[in-house]
Structure 1
């Protein structure tokens, strides 16, 4: 019997989520990954398989909720500069907790429709 790890379960949740979430050029996928050191956010157009914008917290130091809000806000501002008004939120199999909510709230504050 194979022992499953937390990482395996997260990957399964992410694959299940990706069946439903798909990004386009008008409404890209806002993909979030949280590691032990940083928070990473990307805007991805799945039709072209291209990353439109990427931001992380490695230079800002930390992975708390305030940093997450700043990253969500910067990602949304970059999307609005490119003429993108909305995005589909992809939490990457992680729980929608305090930091995920802060990323989404920061993007909404900047004017991105999630």
Structure 2
């Protein structure tokens, strides 16, 4: 299996999905730094999880992270979903990030 790596010009957008929550980090692998992070544990998003709207919450996480990256002029990222299939919460997150203008 090939490893996905990010660099300062095109950092890695790593997504981790647990049974209940979704976590996303933007990582510069060359400098070993986490640039941005966001999750469904955010107080404005967490109430959606308790009402069973997981995909809507994942989309909001993608939009929130997309806004932060666009604000800091990072448009191109490498999407790293690990072994998770591209559907459900992962797809909702990616759609939300793409809506904000991210390219991956």
Residue 13 of structure 1 is matched in structure 2 by none
TM-score, normalized by length of structure 2? 0.86
Q: Any unmatched runs of 5+ in structure 1?
A: 1-15
TM-score, normalized by length of structure 1? 0.79
Q: Deviations over 1:3-38 (max 9, x none)?
A: xxxxxxxxxxxxx25x2x211111111100011221
Which runs of at least 4 in structure 1 moved beyond 4 Å after TM superposition?
A: none
Q: Which has the higher helix share?
A: 1
Aligned length: 97
Residue 92 of structure 1 is matched in structure 2 by 82
Residue 69 of structure 1 is matched in structure 2 by 59
Match of 1:80 among 70, 73, 76: 70
Residue 25 of structure 1 is matched in structure 2 by 8
**1:1-114 mapped onto 2 (5 Å cutoff):** 16-17=1-2, 19=3, 21-59=4-42, 60-61=45-46, 62=49, 64-114=54-104
Deviation of 1:96 after TM superposition, in Å, equals: 1.1
